[in-house]
Structure 1
Amino acid sequence: MQAPVITVSDVGIRFKRNRRSRRSFKDLFAGSQRRARPGEFWALRNVSFSVAPGEAIGVVGRNGQGKSTLLKLVAEVVYPDEGRIGVHAGVAPLIEITGGFVDDLTVRDNVYLTAGLHGMKRAEIDAQFDEIIAFAEIGDFLDTPYKHLSSGMKVRIAFSVISRLEEPILLVDEVLAVGDKGFREKCYRRIEELLAGGRTLFFVSHNERDLRRFCTRGLYLDKGALVLDASIDEVLDRYNQEYGVTP
């Protein structure tokens, strides 16, 4: 049996409802018995699971139940307040379409910047640059500032760059819903290629058809807790039974 690429052990993370309130220096080094103080809430609590190489995981739940937060924890964009996360392979995150891109830089410069930040060498980017642009279908906008792109175009270039990374774990949030139908299908075929090549997938979506298409296993989050870890069909069937709606 292969060692897990992701281990999540009793993880919890809390946030403040009031943006103006800040955690004190003392709070940051509080003891192990942590409780949500007034104005705080636990976005996730007591969450544990592991992921084997090559698994395709669909994260299911209503809005506000901690799905995107879980992906950000795996991507180390945020860190838990309790418990431990071990990510034992590189991550290619497609979580927020603006992540890593600079508004005032051109599309061309952003490709080099973002790919470089994710560990690609200049020679590697040079070799794949034409393919990245061709996939994104924005060759006429190479020297246009990123901030002038539409939301759909930003998704195109972000996915095209991230999907070229050689990292074993691919994190995909709901950002692909912004793209047009034709390009979304193109992205999905690319995801299938990556899965066939042995990549591990973490996929957050409210589209039941997409979840069943890509994923073999599901994590069902409700009120910040992991209530079911099972096959994607079992997870979706239970979700639909409880709420009568698609994820």
Structure 2
Amino acid sequence: MSSNEKKIALSVRNLHIFYRGLKKTSIRSSWMRLKDKVEIFEALKGVSFDLEEGKILGIIGKNGSGKSTMLRAIAGIFSPDEGTIDLHGRRVSLLSIGVGFNKKLTGRENIYLSGMLLGFSEEQIAEKEKEITDFADIGKFIDRPVKTYSSGMYSKLAFAITAILETDIMLIDEVLSVGDQRFKEKSYNKMKELISDETRTVVIVSHSLSTIEELCDEVLWLNDGEVIEQGDPEEILPRYMEFMKSKKKK
């Protein structure tokens, strides 16, 4: 590989993910007995894309398009039903409200748990512990169970862990809009600092098109689990906005 050739940090090939749920038929339609039927919803339908190292990709799409499912699959929370996800040996972290904490443990205990799940040693986490707690700025709650946290405190600690324990690939799901105004500004500035690293790859899911436009190098537009377009935000965002306007008129 030449020095000018870009490295691929993330490869997704023909990704399919299905949600399965039980749907009971009515007593009238099954007179003798109730019978459970499996209802299958295909959240991602053969999605494929590559992302170069150091690029910032924004994923857009209307509700139910598979954006958060995509992030969770890349993070390893969901396993592909079909297809592959290749991180090319890189370490990945997911920043998403409601994901990743053991709510019975304290915030401090969750720092260590989250860090070890990301592949850091206890010693490496200990070196960053004060920086994480200072950034989260939740006071005495750091030693209280996470189940006692407000959504704002939860988001502060989740962001602090992901931002301070830096991984090669960062996945961010709508958390930049959570928390008080002071923390929003602090987290936004920290995120801009992190993604300025030319070797860090970032994937952002957000309904804030201004955030996508300002932070992202590329946009991936998903609709009903399928890729519509991937490319320059300046080209894709106007077409996406027109699409969303047309949906509202119907």
Q: TM-score, normalised by structure 2?
A: 0.85
Q: Which amino acid aligns with 2:85?
A: I
Looking at secondary structure, tell me which structure has more strand per residue.
2
Q: Give the secondary structure class of the aligned counterpart of 2:18.
A: strand
Q: How does 1:1-247 map to 2 (within 5 A)?
A: 1-18=5-22, 39-88=39-88, 89-95=90-96, 97-198=97-198, 199-244=200-245
Task: Give the paired residue count.
Answer: 229
Root-mean-square deviation (CA, aligned residues, Å) is 2.0
Q: TM-score, normalised by structure 1?
A: 0.86
Contact 2:128 2:165 in 1 (8 A): no
- Aligned mates of 1:10, 1:243 — CA distance in 2: 26
Q: Give the secondary structure class of the aligned counterpart of 2:22.
A: coil
Please state how far the C-alpha of 1:19 moved relative to its aligned partner.
6.8
Corresponding residue for residue 28 of structure 2: none
Cα-to-partner distance string for 1:91-133 (whole Å, 9 max, x where unaligned): 01113x3333222222222222222222222222222111111
Q: Which amino acid aligns with 1:41?
A: F
Gaps of 5+ in 2: 25-36
Contact 2:131 2:164 in 1 (8 A): no
- Aligned mates of 1:18, 1:234 — CA distance in 2: 42
- Aligned mates of 1:226, 1:109 — CA distance in 2: 39
Please state how far the C-alpha of 1:83 moved relative to its aligned partner.
1.8
- Aligned mates of 2:76, 2:105 — CA distance in 1: 25
- Aligned mates of 1:183, 1:117 — CA distance in 2: 25
Q: Give the secondary structure class of the aligned counterpart of 1:126.
A: helix
- Aligned mates of 2:181, 2:220 — CA distance in 1: 26
Contact 1:57 1:201 in 2 (8 A): yes
- Aligned mates of 1:166, 1:4 — CA distance in 2: 19
Higher Cα Rg, which structure: 2
Contact 1:11 1:80 in 2 (8 A): yes
Q: Give the secondary structure class of the aligned counterpart of 1:73.
A: helix
Cα-to-partner distance string for 1:168-225 (whole Å, 9 max, x where unaligned): 1000001333312221221111111111112111000000111111101000001111
- Aligned mates of 2:170, 2:164 — CA distance in 1: 11
Cα-to-partner distance string for 1:68-104 (whole Å, 9 max, x where unaligned): 1111111111122222221111101113x33332222
Q: Give the secondary structure class of the aligned counterpart of 2:115.
A: helix
Gaps of 5+ in 1: 21-36
Change (3 A) 1:158 1:19: farther
